[in-house]
Each structure stands twice: as structure tokens, then as C-alpha cells.
């Protein structure tokens, strides 16, 4: 990197807290799914998974800086599992968005993976009530810098497409598994 390149990489993990919520614009009212820089105590009340075929959005509710930019390669992974029956994941899409407290109608996609076809069958064992898990990596090249201001927040949207509703998106509050992880390059 050049000496004047002020890029800073930050890693975030997705969790769902049960006893704390955030309100940011009308889009995220009483919101529990967040991105955080560190896992919280494993004694905290959290939810470990959500229906994968629902649109799952994880807000970073805090400030980074008054004005900052995202530029470079975003990388990470999501974890999907069979839940209640064997399932076929046909594709997934991961995107980074921004929302504004000044303009409640603003909900802008900054970048995404696009639809990624995978056609993965995840087996569910009904005898032991255990579903097969699979980790799906992603990379997003942000060539043109994306600006965010003090009244904007970014969030991660995960969309999963399957042949049925038997898949789960894991977001455990557990550093051992790192179910949803994303590394974002910032220019501060």
C-alpha cells in the first residue's frame, strides 16, 4: 500500500441480542440483530439462529467517524444449516447497505455479492435432531469508495434462497464458531 493510503480493516460479527434493542431511523425500530466488533459474554441472552429464507439484516448501530468511506475488498462468511428437515440451498446473496436518520426513506445498497448459485443439500437427521451445517464464504470488491456520514449507519443483509423453508442462518454469540463474519476496509 502507498504511504498515503489510510485504509483500516475492521472485523464484525453478527449476533442477535434478546434484552437490548436499537432504534435508528424508521427502518430499524426495536431492532435486535446487530454487527459488533467483539462477541459479548456468552452468559447474555441471545438468539442463535433465524429462518434463513427470511431477509436477515444486521445493523452496526454505532458511529465510526463523522465522515468515512468504504473502499477495498470486503470478505467474510455466513453459516447455514438444515433445520427440521433436509434442505437444498439454491443460492445466497450478501449485501452491505446504508440507512440514514435524516431521511427515513433512504435505504441504499453500497455493494453486494450478487446472487451466488450453490445448490447445496444439507441433511437433517431426525433421529438426533441435528442438521448439517455449511459455511459459505464471500468477497465483494468495492472499487469506487462509498461515503457514509455521521447520520448514516451501515448494515449487512443476508438473503438465502432454498427449495423449502427448512434452512437456518446461524448467528451464535460464540467466538469459537464465528457464524457470520465480515471484514470491511475503511478509509478514515
> What is the pLDDT at residue 3?
52
Over residues 100-156, the pLDDT tens digits come to: 988 877 889 999 999 999 999 999 999 999 999 999 999 999 999 999 999 999 999
> What is the pLDDT at residue 96?
98
DSSP state of 50: E
**CA 150/CA 168 separation, integer angstroms:** 34
Topology of domain 7-187 in CATH is Jelly Rolls (2.60.120)
| Residue 105 in grid coordinates | 426513506
Exposure b/e, 68-107, CB count within 10 A at least 16 = b: bbbbbebbbebbbbbbeebbbbebbbbbbbbbbbeeeeee
> What is the pLDDT at residue 20?
92
> What is the pLDDT at residue 36?
97
The domain ranges of the chain are: 7-187
Kindly report the pTM of this predicted structure: 0.94
Place of cell 504511504: 3
Amino acid at each position: 500500500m502507498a504511504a498515503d493510503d489510510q485504509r483500516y480493516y475492521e472485523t464484525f460479527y453478527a449476533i442477535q441480542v434478546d434484552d437490548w434493542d436499537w432504534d435508528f431511523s424508521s427502518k430499524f425500530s426495536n431492532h435486535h440483530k446487530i454487527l459488533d466488533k467483539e462477541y459479548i459474554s456468552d452468559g447474555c441472552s441471545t438468539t442463535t439462529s433465524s429462518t434463513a429464507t427470511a431477509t436477515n439484516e444486521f445493523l452496526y448501530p454505532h458511529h465510526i467517524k463523522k465522515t468515512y468511506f468504504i473502499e477495498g475488498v470486503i470478505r467474510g462468511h455466513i453459516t447455514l444449516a438444515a433445520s427440521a428437515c433436509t434442505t437444498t440451498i439454491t443460492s445466497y446473496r450478501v449485501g452491505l447497505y446504508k440507512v440514514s436518520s435524516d431521511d427515513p426513506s433512504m435505504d441504499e445498497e453500497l455493494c453486494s455479492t450478487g446472487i451466488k448459485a450453490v445448490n447445496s443439500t444439507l441433511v437433517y437427521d431426525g433421529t438426533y435432531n441435528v442438521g448439517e451445517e455449511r459455511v459459505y464464504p464471500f468477497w465483494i470488491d468495492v472499487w469506487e469508495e462509498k461515503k457514509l456520514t455521521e447520520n448514516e449507519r451501515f448494515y449487512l443483509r443476508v438473503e438465502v434462497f432454498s427449495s423449502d423453508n427448512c434452512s437456518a442462518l446461524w448467528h451464535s454469540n460464540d467466538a469459537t464458531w464465528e457464524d457470520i463474519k465480515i471484514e470491511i476496509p475503511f478509509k478514515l
